[in-house]
């Protein structure tokens, strides 16, 4: 169904309604938007506008703001009429002054920022703080009440809205999608939401696609398409769009009101049917296509050039108001066209008849509890002892380290069945990542087409009520999880390591959001964004070079230490301890990296807990300090072998085994690091080891040969500020890969046990019997390896079948 502005439903309440007050409310929001962009004094033009009233530096975005304020005013109307809980996600987040203006008008802004009161002094603070030092940013961000989405990086609005609606049955998430944003890949993928939103147990998403025709300096694709074409696009994705198109407020107000009334009625009808009769297929959720001029109600022309309705209105339409008297005069005419004297009383307060148009209390969109991270009770993680694996004899039992985690997640699903607050998001890789135990408790979520569309045979664990989300898009998986946790629920995003880089910039944006949110007392701590990377660069040998890349570690390590954590558990029990911590934590981006294939298991659960509590520790059983009659407390080893990550740990232990067996007089210390953030100094990251503890583990001057999961540069970055960081000789992934054997991957990147041994002998202090023979053995083994894999297509038996044993036995 399509509806143009002149075609409002005959006899509808909206058609007979008087929209004069709503239009004035919209005018008040537009006025405050312009005032924030331009003014530093004289906020209500109680005196003639002068150049000194204008900010010296003009920043902000006008073009999208009138549309945002129009939508906000109409959502207020809908909330007042229905008492619906509506969360607003603003895709055009650069329209920050509009959202700030509306939260100020409804009173929620002054409640969280009492200094910005609802009077003349408060208005002065409001306009002075916008885009100025010590003030607020120009975008909708963490500091904006009601927001869970900044929009600083386009493309994520609809996925955040969808994640917020999942397992939130009473919530309606209105999502404004700009037509510039609609050109991005993530947003294009987001239209798939109807296939994953269950009207029985989820809330609803109401997309409002705002077409104003232009981006910063060029036209938009959808802005140049016909209404029918745009509606057909949304219909093909399962939406039922209604079109509101016009530039006359007298027609647009009743048409938009009617569209929102119809959308609300459709949402409630869909939910009522599902909750009474069950779910029979994907719902055709309503959507609104709103086409209005860019920069509506702003200057029609500036210096004889068209502005309203063009790209020139995108940011600051009148840029020379301090230098050009004609621009200053035009700005004053523009601002007075909203008649501020009729909107605000003598004390600078919004007049009572307009103030009454805002919803009451927690129903105001700037005060909605969900927008502040209030999402219910905390997640209870089941005791992890029941999932622990047997590790003795140490290093000899092989296990898929992520499999016990899948069993733990299964039980979390079972425990939260009556109070859903946890979801796993994964791009079609749940079984591949060895997390398939979750399907013993729930299914993959997919609302199947109706009976008229034949479903292909062979679907496994698929249902509308499933709460595992698999969609082949890292953007959607992470974005849906972000919306889910920002509204107070818990989850995990599991992905192949190399492909997590697809959504790396989302990780950056989320960390920035959390970093600023931590400084806002009125925002509740939200469950952490938990990312699990498997199918790592070292064991993605069957897929080839394109699947081998540990770059997300570098990305995360570059972010603020107040909000990021990077874990490299070496085995199943340390992963369980890590996951337990991650799922209970709040206000962090937690990154855990571990392979899904069979690996040796080293630590008991009790040992894993102690190891995780410190983040790095000496594995006495792997070195020979004690057997040589020395102690790390009274003597220094000749060389330290350190490792971080499961494959680097295996190669490091094999290197220690070779050194102890062939050069028995060489004193070797083995250190495992599972929390990467213990390596920088404590003034760089809160997990950083104290200087005393760091020296206890790594000494103050002994050379360290370190096998590291990621790029060596990342580890060198962490060690900056530690004493003699040049003594750390880091071997890591070096952009060498192909489809080859597992051991050949570490050989190609010079992280193999033989390379570690040769590096250790070069760096150790003194000369030791057997060293030259071992060097020759290592070179011979590397030659033998190269020949063997090309002949037999698998690793040498002595490498493939090696397990840890006491080298002296």
What's the 3-state SS for 245-304? ECCCHHHHHHHHHHHHHHHHHHHHHHHHHHHHHCCCCCCCEEEEEEECCCCCCCCCEECC
Smallest Cα–Cα separation from 525: which of 490, 566, 560? 490
Looking at 219-233, 349-363, 534-548, which range is the least confident one?
Answer: 534-548
Mean pLDDT (whole number) for 311-332 = 96
Residue 525 makes CB contacts below 8 A (sequence gap 6+) with 373, 586, 587
The bridge status of strand 301-302 relative to strand 398-400 is unpaired
Domains parsed from the chain with CATH numbers: 13-367 (3.40.50.970), 384-450+461-598 (3.40.50.970), 636-800 (3.40.50.920)
Q: How many helices (H) and strands (E) does the chain have?
A: 26, 22
User: How far apart are alpha carbons 158 and 164 in whole angstroms?
Assistant: 10
Smallest Cα–Cα separation from 124: which of 61, 68, 53, 59? 53
Could you tell me if 398 and 601 are in contact, meaning their C-beta atoms sit under 8 angstroms apart?
Answer: yes
pLDDT at 8 over 60: no
Smallest Cα–Cα separation from 136: which of 60, 26, 68? 60
Percentage of residues in the chain having pLDDT higher than 70: 96
The 10s digit of each residue's pLDDT in 605-635 is 999 999 999 999 999 999 999 876 665 555 7
pLDDT of residue 415: 98
Neighbours of 546 (CB within 10 A): 11
With b for 16 or more beta-carbon neighbours within 10 A and e for fewer, the 718-739 pattern comes to bbeebeeeebbbbbbbeebbee
pLDDT at 376 over 90: no
pLDDT of residue 544: 86
pTM for this structure? 0.95
pLDDT at 69 over 60: yes
pLDDT of residue 458: 61
Beta-bridged to residue 196, according to DSSP, are: none
Residue 277 makes CB contacts below 8 A (sequence gap 6+) with none
- Per the listing, tokens 């093909």 go with 236
H or E, element range at 331: helix 325-336
User: How far apart are alpha carbons 677 and 682 in whole angstroms?
Assistant: 9
């Amino acid at each position: 169904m399509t509806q143009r502005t002149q075609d409002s439903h005959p006899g509808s309440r909206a058609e007979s309604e008087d929209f004069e007050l709503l239009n004035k409310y919209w005018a008040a929001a537009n006025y405050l938007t312009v005032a924030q962009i331009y003014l530093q004094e004289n906020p209500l033009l109680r005196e003639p506008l002068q150049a000194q009233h204008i900010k010296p530096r003009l920043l902000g975005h006008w073009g999208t703001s009138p549309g945002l304020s129009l939508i906000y005013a109409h959502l207020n109307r809908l909330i007042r009429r229905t008492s619906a809980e509506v969360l607003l996600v603003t895709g055009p987040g650069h329209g920050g002054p509009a959202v700030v203006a509306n939260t100020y008008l409804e009173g929620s802004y002054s409640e969280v920022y009492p200094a910005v009161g609802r009077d003349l002094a408060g208005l002065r603070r409001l306009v002075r703080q916008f885009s100025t030092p010590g003030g607020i940013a120009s975008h909708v961000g963490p500091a904006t009440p009601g927001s869970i989405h900044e929009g600083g990086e386009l493309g994520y609005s609809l996925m955040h809205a969808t994640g917020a609606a999942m397992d939130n049955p009473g919530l309606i998430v209105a999502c404004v999608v700009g037509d510039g944003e609609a050109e991005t890949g993530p947003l294009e993928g987001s239209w798939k939401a109807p296939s994953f939103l269950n009207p029985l147990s989820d809330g609803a998403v109401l997309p409002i696609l705002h077409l104003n025709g232009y981006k910063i300096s060029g036209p938009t694709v959808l802005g140049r398409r016909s209404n029918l074409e745009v509606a057909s696009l949304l219909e093909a994705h399962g939406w039922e769009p209604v079109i509101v198109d016009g530039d006359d407020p007298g027609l647009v107000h009743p048409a938009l009101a009617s569209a929102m009334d119809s959308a609300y009625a459709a949402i409630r009808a869909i939910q009522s049917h599902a909750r009474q009769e069950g779910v029979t297929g994907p719902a055709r959720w309503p959507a609104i296509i709103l086409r209005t001029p860019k920069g509506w109600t702003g200057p029609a022309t500036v210096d004889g050039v068209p502005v309203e309705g063009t790209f020139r209105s995108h940011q600051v339409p009148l840029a020379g108001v301090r230098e050009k008297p004609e621009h200053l005069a035009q700005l004053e005419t523009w601002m007075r066209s909203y008649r501020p004297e009729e909107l605000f009383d003598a004390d600078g307060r919004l007049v009572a008849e307009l103030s009454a148009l805002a919803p009451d209390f927690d129903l105001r969109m700037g005060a909605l509890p969900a927008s502040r991270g209030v999402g219910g009770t905390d997640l209870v993680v089941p005791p992890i002892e029941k999932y622990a694996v047997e590790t003795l004899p140490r290093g000899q039992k092989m296990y898929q380290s992520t499999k016990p985690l899948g069993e733990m997640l299964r039980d979390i699903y079972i425990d939260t069945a009556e109070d859903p607050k946890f979801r796993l998001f994964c791009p079609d890789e749940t079984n591949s990542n060895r997390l398939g135990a979750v399907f013993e408790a729930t299914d993959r979520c997919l609302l199947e087409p109706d009976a008229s569309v034949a479903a292909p045979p062979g679907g496994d664990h698929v249902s509308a009520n499933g709460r595992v989300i698999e969609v082949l898009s890292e953007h959607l998986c992470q974005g849906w999880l972000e919306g889910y946790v920002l509204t107070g629920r818990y989850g995990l995003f599991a992905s192949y390591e190399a492909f997590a880089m697809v959504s790396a910039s989302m990780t950056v944006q989320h960390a920035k959001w959390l970093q600023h949110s931590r400084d806002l007392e009125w925002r509740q701590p939200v469950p952490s964004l938990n990312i699990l990377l498997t199918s790592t660069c070292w064991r993605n040998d069957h897929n080839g070079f394109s699947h081998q890349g540990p770059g997300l570690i570098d990305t995360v390590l570059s972010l603020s230490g107040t909000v990021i954590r990077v874990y490299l558990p070496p085995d199943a029990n340390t992963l369980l301890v890590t996951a337990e911590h991650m799922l209970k934590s709040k206000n962090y981006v937690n990154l855990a990296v571990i392979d899904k294939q069979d690996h040796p298991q080293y630590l008991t659960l009790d040992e894993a807990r102690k190891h995780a509590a410190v983040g790095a520790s000496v594995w006495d059983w792997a070195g020979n300090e004690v057997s040589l009659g020395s102690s790390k407390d009274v003597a220094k080893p000749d060389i330290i072998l350190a490792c971080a990550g499961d494959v680097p740990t295996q190669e490091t232990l094999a290197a220690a085994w070779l050194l102890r067996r062939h050069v028995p007089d060489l004193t070797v210390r083995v250190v495992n690091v599972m929390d990467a953030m213990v390596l920088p100094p404590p003034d760089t990251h809160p997990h950083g080891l104290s200087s005393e503890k760091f020296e206890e583990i790594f000494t103050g001057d002994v050379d360290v040969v370190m096998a590291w999961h990621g790029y060596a540069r990342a580890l060198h970055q962490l060690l900056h500020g530690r004493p003699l960081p040049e003594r750390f000789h880091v071997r890591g992934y070096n952009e060498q890969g192909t489809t080859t054997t597992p051991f050949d991957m570490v050989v190609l990147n010079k992280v193999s046990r033989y390379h570690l041994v040769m590096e250790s002998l070069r760096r150790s202090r003194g000369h030791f019997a057997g060293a030259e023979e071992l060097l020759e053995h290592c070179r011979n083994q590397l030659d033998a390896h190269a020949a063997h894999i090309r002949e037999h297509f698998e690793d040498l038996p002595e490498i493939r079948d090696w397990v840890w044993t006491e080298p002296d036995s």
